[in-house]
Amino acid sequence: MKTLILLATVLTGLACAQSIPQRENNQQRRIAQGVRSGALTPAETARLQREERASHRRTVIDRRDGGVFTPAERARAQRRLDHISGDIARLKHNGRVR
């Protein structure tokens, strides 16, 4: 029974997971919304854009190396995107306005 519940939980999580390009696009939209609303200062926006570019470059390099995007590389890319997502949320709600 426990195995069945665990399996259902894992499969549900996989079905809801976004691909890396989808996450990158969503984060770009969140940054753009923060700029439009004034929640992100120019310096904060530049920092987030640099982080996004670096993450994207690393993902492209990982995909090219050996022709296979391994599960470990995918996990590292997801962790990078998790970190950037947290930075976006923190900077959008830190009280600074442009």
Each residue's pLDDT tens digit, 78-93:
999 999 999 999 999 9
> Is position 34 within any domain?
yes
Number of domains in the chain: 1
pLDDT at 2: 65
> Is position 41 within any domain?
yes
> Is position 24 within any domain?
yes
**pLDDT at residue 29 is higher than 80:** yes
> Is position 38 within any domain?
yes
> Is position 11 within any domain?
no
Range of the domain at 51: 19-92
**pLDDT at residue 5 is higher than 90:** no
> Is position 3 within any domain?
no
**What is the pTM for the complete model shown?**
0.78
**pLDDT at residue 15 is higher than 70:** no
**Measured CA distances, 14 to 3, 41, 59 (Å):** 16, 35, 20
Reported as a pLDDT band with limits 50, 70 and 90, residue 7 is: low
Reported as a pLDDT band with limits 50, 70 and 90, residue 47 is: very high
> Is position 30 within any domain?
yes
> Is position 13 within any domain?
no
User: Can you tell me the distance from the alpha carbon of 39 to that of 97, in angstroms, rounded to the nearest whole number?
Assistant: 5
User: Can you tell me the distance from the alpha carbon of 68 to that of 31, in angstroms, rounded to the nearest whole number?
Assistant: 30
